Chains A and B, each alone.
Chain A
C-alpha cells in the first residue's frame, strides 16, 4: 500500500448559491508528482486555496498526513509548502529579507537552511537585490525557495511554469523530479497547459466545471495496455487494408501508402509477418500515440467558463 500524503474526500465549495467545487476526491502518494489540469475557471485555484486553508471547505475534508486542514490547521499546514497563483513577495525587501521573513514564521528553519535553499534555486547572485527588480522567472524561483524552507512533505505549485523561459521550465522540471524521487516530496502542480507539465508528472487529474473528470497515470506500462496506433508503409495499401480488416476485425485506415490500425504493442511482429506472408512489402512501421494534449482537448470540448 502506498503512503498517502494528501487526501481529498468529497470536497465541496459553495460561494453564495453557486457550487464551484462539486465533490472532488483524490489522493496524492508520497514522492509522486501530480498534475492538476483544467481550463481557466474550472476550479483549480479554488481547490488549491482549500488545500492550504486560505478558503473554508463547505463540505468534505482535506487531510495532509492524516491531519485535517479544517480541524488541525497547525499540524497540517506545517507539512505544506505552496505558491498560490503568482509568487507575490514583498517588493521593497531583498530576496534574502523575504526568505528570512518566512523563515521566522516556521520553527526550526536555520540560517544555514535559508542559504541552502537559495543555492538550490540558484539565486545566489540576486538574493541581496530588492524583489521589485526581479524578473518573473526570478520571482518564481524565490517563490519555490520560500515554499521549500521548512522541508515540507507536500509542495503545492500553482502554475509554476508561468512566465518562465524554456530553459527555466526545464530546470524546474529537473528540480521537481529530483525532489520527488530523492527526497520523497509529493508535488501538486496545477496548469492549464498540459504540455508544459506532462513531462514531470507521474499522474494527472483533470478538473472541469468543479469536478474531476479523469485521473490518469502517465507511466509507460499503462499506455501499453491502452493500445497505440501503428502505421505500416506498404506497396499495396488497399490489399493490406482488406487483409488486416479480415484478420484483426479492427478499424483500418489508409492514407497514401500508410495503413493505420489500433494495436497492442505485442501484436506488431505477428501483423508484420501476416503482411509479409501475403507478399506485401513492408517498408517501415511507425507507432504514434494519441498525445495527452489530444485526449485533454477531447475531454474538455470547448473551453467554456460557466
Chain B
C-alpha cells in the first residue's frame, strides 16, 4: 500500500512541479478576484437594502413585474425569455411574502454559490491534466523507465488516475476557499446559516445557502469526473494529449446540444450527457422526459466502467515499442 501511496505522490509531484499548473491556478485566482470586483461595481444594489419595509418593496416589485409581463406579451417578438425570468422573480418574491422570508444582502456565500459556474473551468483544467498524464510519458520517452520498476502497470495507471482526481479535488477546494475569502473581504460574511430561496421540483423553497452551494459544486463533479475519465482513456489509448483534450472539451461543450439534436430518438436517454446533470432531478427541469435518478446513475456507471476498462486494457496489455 505504501508503494502505491508513494507512486501517487510521484504522479502529483510531476503535476505540481510544472509551471503551467501554477499558471492555471494564478489564472483562476485572477478570475475570482476580477469577478468580485465586477459584482461589487455592477452587482444588484437593491438586494443589499433589506430593511423593515421589505414587504412593501417586494409587493411594489411584483406589481412592476406583472405590468412588465403584460406589456411584453402585447409586443410582438421574442419576449418569452424576459417573461420567464420575471415569472421566476415573481414566484420567488411571492414565496418570500407568504413564508415571511425577507431577502438578505449579498454576502460571501452568495459569491461562492455564484462562482459554481467555475466548475466548468475546473473540468477544463482537469481534462488538460488527465489528457497529458499518460500520453506525456510516451511523448517524453519516460514511459520506458517508468514501467521497468517493481510496480505493476495497473497500479501505475491507477496512481495516475488517482492523481488526476486529486488534482480536481484540490482545485475545487482552491476555488471554494478563494471565493469564500474573497467574498468575505468584498461582501462580508453572514454566517453559514444564511438562506436562499430557490426552485425545486415541488416549487420554491427556502434552503441554507451553504448546503446549496455545496450541492451545486457537488453536482458539477459528476460531469467533471466523467469528462476527466474520458480524456484519461483517450490519452491512454491514443497516447496523444491534443486529441484527448480536443475530444473531451468538444464533448463537454456540445453535450447538451447533442442530446437536444437526438432528443426525438428513443435511444437519446442512453447518451451520456442526458444523464450527467443530476441536479435536474431536484429542480425538476428535465433535459429529456422519462429519465429517473436510478436510470441515470446506471447509465453513468456503465459509461464509467467502459472508460476505465478500456484504459486499463490498453495500458496493461500493449507493447511499449519505439516511436
On A, residues with C-beta under 8 Å from B are 15, 45, 49, 52-56, 73-74, 77-78, 80, 82-86, 88-93, 97, 101-102, 104-107, 146
Contacts and interface: CB of A to CB of B under 8 A. Distances in A.
Contact of A92 (B18, B150, B319, B320): B18
Given A84-B144, A90-B14, A102-B145, 5 more contacts: A56-B317, A56-B319, A84-B148, A97-B13, A105-B6
Nearest to A54: B320
A93 B149 CA distance: 19
Contact of A55 (B146, B150, B320): B320
A39 to B, nearest CB: 16
B17 interface: yes
B141 A74 contact: no
A53 B147 contact: yes
Nearest to A13: B319
B142 interface: yes
Contacts of B319: 15, 49, 54-56
B24 interface: no
A52 B148 contact: yes
Interface string B121-161: 00000000000000000001110111111111000000000
B253 interface: no
Given A97-B17, A104-B10, A90 B140 contact: yes
B322 interface: yes
B150 A106 contact: yes
B141 A77 contact: no
B249 to A, nearest CB: 24
Nearest to B142: A88
A45 B322 CA distance: 9
A181 B18 CA distance: 42
Contacts of A90: 14, 140, 142
6 contacts: A49-B320, A49-B321, A53-B148, A101-B10, A106-B150, A107-B3
Contacts of A92: 17-19
Interface residues of B, number: 27
B150 A78 contact: yes
B148 A54 contact: yes
B9 interface: yes
A52 B148 CA distance: 6
B23 to A, nearest CB: 13
A266 B144 CA distance: 51
A72 B96 CA distance: 69
B159 to A, nearest CB: 10
A16 to B, nearest CB: 12
Nearest to B149: A105
A28 B190 CA distance: 75
Contacts of B152: 73-74
A102 B147 CA distance: 11
A45 B150 CA distance: 21
Contacts of B13: 97, 101
A158 B319 CA distance: 18
Given A55-B319, A90-B14, A106 B140 contact: no
A15 to B, nearest CB: 8
With most chain A CB atoms within 10 A of its CB, the pick from B6, B14, B144 is B144
Interface in B11-29: 13-14, 17-19
B148 A82 contact: yes
B145 A146 contact: yes
B148 A80 contact: yes
Contacts of A80: 148
